[in-house]
Structure 1
Amino acid sequence: MTTFRRVLEYILDTNDNNPKRPPMSEEDLKLAAHLIDMGESINKGDYEISSEEHISHFEEELQDKTWTPEDEHFHNIKVCPDVVNLPGAPNMVQFSLGEYVELSKVMEAVEYYGKRTGFHNNGSMIRPNLRTMQHKYRFIKESHHLQKLREYESNHSTKTNRLNNLQFISLELQKKVGELIENGKILHDSVLRFLISEIIKKNNIQIENFVGSDSWLNGWKRRFGISSRKITKFVSQVRHKNRDQIERDSKEFVSSTNQILPLYHPSNVYNADQSGFQLEMSTARTLTFTGSRHVHCTVQNVSSTTHSYTVLPLISASGKLHPKIFVTLKEKNGTFPKCGHFTAPNLVVTCHTSHIMTKELMKTFFREVVIEKSMPKNALLIIDSWSSWKDTDAIDSVTPRANKIKILTIPAGCTGHVQPCDVGIFGAFKKVVKTITNYSQLTNEDYKMHSRDETLKLISLVWWQLCSPKLESWAQYAWFAAGYNVPRPPRFETPAQLLFPCDVAKDCAIQQCPNIAFMKCIYCNNHLCFEDFIIQHHKCC
């Protein structure tokens, strides 16, 4: 009997209170206990399923060897733009007024006209003269017909050169990706586009309008057996309420809040929430060889993928993010070293013996962020049911009499449904941080992204980008999506779409910088490399 069947029978017997159960090892009992817990979560409707993807490699016989590297631009190049299809005579070229010639015959003339080698003293190619061409091809009558052949030849050459370049890029990309996968690097389509730009620049390839479209990359991955392997995780959450109760509480909270919202301007309505960020954040999927049973990825510091820090942003219903973000680091003995730490105008940095917020840190958050001078004197603050938020005496102790802060507390278990930070902010925030971290692991292995100052520098830069007015619709949508009565914002681009567009991998905008850009500044629209954006701490305004 297989382990799975034995464990399954044990679970069914337990569920039916059957005293006769199959013998189980200690490991099998642990597995059964986990599965039983998962089953209880499913019955309560209190679970999440997240899909992760890793790239893997097909067996040789399963690779799509029919794929060729032509792109959309290649197919749009017409060697003979004036090809027409006549009844019973497809692929005809209107070579002169009223005279149609078979395309194959025209291409034969093009080949013959350009097959001689050598050049005249003036640099022009040695070609057959008009009389020779007239004798061999009756449809050629005048000198401008030879010009037409030269145009067809040029188009054919352009198309052939593009195909050769695409074939070279495809093979070089295969080599590079294979090396990176073997070394455990985390790869995504955005990284593939960066590698393409690097190959083009390194080999001085002259190719226009090629960045690696989604369709081209999908075909390339099929050709070389590169695919995204999904890993599905079941995450059971401990709750004291069932799903129906959570949904009722969520709707009631939003409904009651919507009755209060008209009393405040959207710029006076805020949501604050904590979120743990890993010191070294990586995306949960990567490209690897299809069929691989195990996917190993390298990181700079293994402990950094489990050790966290806490960020606490403040966002308004108008779509504006508070310019300062509150950060709590874990430090030995709860104090910073004598050398201090990286500082920036948009950071409020604190520390504790763990990254978990305390009541005293909460009071600091109110002093330094919620009631600092740029904030309105009369505000509505929506927060979750964290115990320290409920201590009104502690909050009142740091709130000046001139400030009026009305606090609405989201019921326990409902934050994922009605808290704007959870609904629309943190996911996009972390995606940007993960993308930058993965890029650092790929191209700047010596840069210690997990160290204190580098972590703070990264958060400062990312938060500054997220505060751009161009992202106000994105931030406001978090409120709309959570059910609050705020105007539905117009269509918008997400932070990742603005920072990492498909054509981002261009030459760095900084003069004399030899590097390839990896991101685009939302403020100045310059394409910048890792050195000039992260290490030099880019600030253009």
Structure 2
Amino acid sequence: MNSANIIQCLSELFDVDLDLNRPEISQNELITAQRLAETIKSLINCNQFDFEDQVTLDLTNDSHDNESEDDYHGDSSSDADDEWDNKENVKEHYQLKSYSIDFMKEVVDFADEKDASGKRRRSWKTVQHRYRSIPNQGYICRFRKYLTQQGTKRQKTQNVDEIVYKKFLNAREQYLPIHDIDIQRWSLQAAKEMQLNDFQASEYWLRSFKNRHGICSRKITNIVTKREISNFDDIKKSEEEFLKKFHQLSKKYLSKEILNTDQVGIEKELHSTRTLSFQGEKKTLGSVASKNATTHSYTIQPTINLDGQLVGPMYLCLQEPKGRMGDIVKRNLFEPKNVVITCSSSGKLTSSLVKYWRDKILVPSIGKKALLLSDSWSGQNDDNIYNELKSIGKAVHRIQIPPKTTSDIQPLDKYFNRQMKNLAKRLYNRVALDELNVNLYERNNIIKLVSLIHSQLSAPVFKDMILYSWYARGYLKSDPSPFKNVNDVCFSHSTTYQACQIDKCHESAFITCSWCTKLLCFQHFFIEYHFHE
């Protein structure tokens, strides 16, 4: 290459006529010419050219677009650089697709910080040394734009998620019902406010939202009033005070002397509320032998102690039209050892029937003293019911579980009562499914069913399950888990296809006895009354 030709080409490119006689060349012009000459010489003498092209993403044309390193005050040798030399101050690497709003704000604030003269304190090299995940300084402009527009689409979507979840939490704290359409409506409102115009609350988004936050459809098991919600703090305080009182009093009693009793209403014909059926069917029906039996109930009253045992017989109050049994009924009544039977017109207990329970079940089952926990039902709130026992040398100290707290701190309500109902439902379902000629809502069959339930749940294998009812409500400090419940002991999947083990019976097994562990068909368990004392 000829340098004269290059100079001639430059003159043509800049449209300048070369005047070799031009006087007075300035110092700056001379320096520029010298640097240009060095560049031209290096090009003439080299044999290979490397061309580098740097591409940045989505640079804007605002006032910050043309920022250069000179726009930042200082250079790489300044004190501003030195303060970041320590490796402990280097931020963690952020992947390109995971810049958070907080990170963007931090970078922009760090880069834009000014000194006393109003100039930026830090050079681009300082910023890049601090935040090494930023490829080039154009990203600072991009971060400013994102922050101005309330974040990227991804960030806006995350904000929608947070807003909707806060609304969900607020609604559930007030125990309000929420459905899928409410979640979608809230998300669309939030997206509109954030100008996320292309957001759609699709089924996929809804499903993902519910999975992220562990949300699913649940059956409402208890109803509370708004007044109860507003008094929630008072209710919680009464729970804490009751537990504190219990722990103070319980020091004076043995674990077997601390009792909990509760009345449980059971429909004369229990039926399952769920079933396997076909997808897409408009109605899923279930059948019962008597609709009347599903709306009328009887009451059972179990008692457990803090030692993990069922105490005394089961108390059973049957529903009789006139509130009493006739002589013929009494003569034909099935009377097992572990059930004390009474009746009322409603099938529910009255104050006089509470005294009957006291005399027939409580007194024979305790020693000289007992600490009794029972709920706030008015029929048992009379202190004289238990003060009268002093005349026979029995000291029963009853402490009343505060109103509106039984579902939270009554041991029997925690776990045991559901296990009783589970066992009863198994019997009802087997009769219905196999079309057995047995009416479980008849008087003697109800008594037999209650007796067998009490017998099975009295087995030592359920001790830890009963203890868990106390532990889960705060009465015990040590967790008895793991324990076995009714499904584990009596209806294990491993015995589903096995045969009855009584008298060479080849019928399929219905239940595993919690006492003798024998597999029993329905005939040998219920009809022939497989009872253990």
Q: Is the 8 A contact 1:327 1:349 kept in 2?
A: yes
Alignment of 1:281-320 (within 5 A): 281-320=270-309
For 1:464, the aligned partner's letter is S
For 1:344, the aligned partner's letter is P
Q: Is the 8 A contact 1:45 1:243 kept in 2?
A: no
Q: Give the Cα separation in 2 of the matches to 1:463 and 1:483.
A: 25
Q: How many residues align?
A: 322
Using a 3 Å threshold, how does the CA distance of structure 1 residues 445 and 234 change in structure 2: closer, same or farther?
A: same
SS in 2 for 1:288: coil
For 1:237, the aligned partner's letter is V
Output the TM-score relative to the length of structure 1: 0.56
**Higher mean C-alpha deviation, range 499-508 or range 388-397:** 388-397
What is the CA deviation profile of residues 48-107 of structure 1, one whole-angstrom value per residue up to 9, with x for unaligned ones? Answer: 99xxxxxxxxxxxxxxxxxxxxxxxxxxxxxxxxxxxxxxxxxxxxxxxxxxxxxxxxxx
Match of 1:256 in 2: 245
Q: Is the 8 A contact 1:517 1:528 kept in 2?
A: yes
Larger Rg: 2
Using a 3 Å threshold, how does the CA distance of structure 1 residues 455 and 503 change in structure 2: closer, same or farther?
A: same
Q: Is the 8 A contact 2:312 2:362 kept in 1?
A: no
Q: Give the Cα separation in 2 of the matches to 1:251 and 1:233.
A: 25
Say yes or no: does 1:481 pair with 2:463.
Answer: no
- Structure 2 unaligned blocks of 5 or more: 1-169, 179-215
Choose from 370, 377, 380 the match for 2:371: 380
| CA shift for structure 1 position 43 | 8.2
For 1:345, the aligned partner's letter is K
% identical equivalent positions: 28
Q: Is the 8 A contact 1:326 1:348 kept in 2?
A: yes
Say yes or no: does 1:390 pair with 2:389.
Answer: no
Choose from 224, 233, 238 the match for 1:237: 224
Output the TM-score relative to the length of structure 2: 0.57
| CA shift for structure 1 position 503 | 2.0
Q: Give the Cα separation in 2 of the matches to 1:359 and 1:47.
A: 36
Match of 2:530 in 1: 538
Q: Give the Cα separation in 2 of the matches to 1:368 and 1:456.
A: 17
Using a 3 Å threshold, how does the CA distance of structure 1 residues 271 and 292 change in structure 2: closer, same or farther?
A: same
Match of 2:181 in 1: none
Q: Is the 8 A contact 2:310 2:458 kept in 1?
A: yes
Match of 1:413 in 2: 404
| CA shift for structure 1 position 435 | 1.4
Choose from 319, 334, 340 the match for 1:348: 340
Choose from 429, 435, 441 the match for 2:420: 429
- Aligned Cα root-mean-square deviation (Å): 2.4
Q: Give the Cα separation in 2 of the matches to 1:536 and 1:295.
A: 35
Using a 3 Å threshold, how does the CA distance of structure 1 residues 370 and 234 change in structure 2: closer, same or farther?
A: closer
Using a 3 Å threshold, how does the CA distance of structure 1 residues 279 and 48 change in structure 2: closer, same or farther?
A: farther
Q: Is the 8 A contact 2:386 2:396 kept in 1?
A: no
| CA shift for structure 1 position 488 | 2.3
Q: Give the Cα separation in 1 of the matches to 2:177 and 2:517.
A: 38
Say yes or no: does 1:457 pair with 2:448.
Answer: yes
| CA shift for structure 1 position 271 | 0.5
| CA shift for structure 1 position 403 | 0.3
Using a 3 Å threshold, how does the CA distance of structure 1 residues 42 and 354 change in structure 2: closer, same or farther?
A: farther
Match of 1:443 in 2: 434
**Higher mean C-alpha deviation, range 377-386 or range 395-404:** 395-404
Choose from 494, 497, 502 the match for 1:510: 502
Q: Give the Cα separation in 1 of the matches to 2:255 and 2:316.
A: 25
For 1:384, the aligned partner's letter is D
Q: Is the 8 A contact 2:389 2:396 kept in 1?
A: no
| CA shift for structure 1 position 261 | 1.3
**Higher mean C-alpha deviation, range 329-338 or range 454-463:** 329-338
Q: Is the 8 A contact 1:479 1:486 kept in 2?
A: no
**Higher mean C-alpha deviation, range 516-525 or range 336-345:** 336-345
| CA shift for structure 1 position 236 | 2.2
